[in-house]
Amino acid sequence: MHWVMGAHKKILVTGAAGFIGYHVCHQLLQQGKQVVGIDNLSDYYDVVLKENRILRLKKSPQFLFQKLDLSHRPSIEYLFQNHDIQQVIHLGAQAGVRYSIQNPHIYVESNVVGFLNILEGCRHSRVEHLVFASSSSVYGNNRDMPFRVSQNVDHPVSLYAATKKSNELMAHTYSHLYNLPITGLRFFTVYGPWGRPDMAPFLFASSIFHEQPIKVFNYGDMKRDFTYVDDIVEGVIQVLDHLPKPIFSFDHQVKTLTPGCSNVPYRIYNIGNNKPVDLMEFIEVLEQAIGKKAKKNFCQCSLVMSKKHLLTLAIFIKRLVLRLKLRSKSAFLNS
């Protein structure tokens, strides 16, 4: 089975009303691409924010939006059967680590069943390339820093992380069975305009602005890798046109495979800023921008996120940088 790159591509973007999905769609439309965006507009956070993102995208005649639920198999089958889709950027998922504790079934339905429906659509439509969002959460209890895609990720600490790890395994299986080119991207704390109100930058900024206390876990002794959304978008779109190739040794057979590569057209990359920011420095930047001091409630780590997981989220993105020659446009302090 051979996959031919088309000159005029119609690109499916799932999670188009989401934070990253909106920015990816916007950039693709700026490049003159035809984009089919789908989203179920869930009420996990403010639906009005999602609707406003879609309204902005609809200003382009090259954009078509359909409200669909990934877990509804007949709808996804109909979508692929009635649109000539050449490439897929799968960003739709039920997000949030802590929310998965209260609502586990939603995560399996959206992130596992929904992803299976996308995989089936891709293989039946002979899609050129599927790029999907994984997560830094898959590293779970891994203590070896910085995180590398070659590391074992068999010890997740949340159901959300487990669903993302399952996505990587399912993707490799479909790549092996159907020679389907698939690339997974492990995102690290993305921020920027039109961002999610449940993420730390907006939660902290809102609390500081309204002079409400903020929880500072582990008494402030931790770092996070913050990635500006434009850098994520650049990486996603560049990866889309770089088909993963099987890795072969001289005897045409890879004897030792890692989670990040394979002898089938499948790759996993970390994608982030690669410059962890101290939590207290992060709060200071917000204080300076807002012009108010934060009321800090210092506390231990929550039960949901282990101390090891929160202390440092440093990543190793050398493979992706070398392959795509990416350059980060902005570090956190300059954004």
- Annotated catalytic residues are 160
CB 227 within 8 A of CB 271: yes
Q: What one-character DSSP code corresponds to residue 97?
A: S
For the record, the structure tokens of 316 come out as 């190793």
Q: What one-character DSSP code corresponds to residue 18?
A: S
CB 62 within 8 A of CB 9: no
Q: Which residues lie below 8 Å from residue 26, measured CB to CB, with a gap of 6+?
A: 56, 57
Helix axes 47-57, 19-30, angle to 10 degrees: 10
CB 68 within 8 A of CB 123: no
Amino acid, res. 150? S
Nearest alpha-carbon partner for 239 in 320, 301, 299, 306: 320
Amino acid, res. 301? C
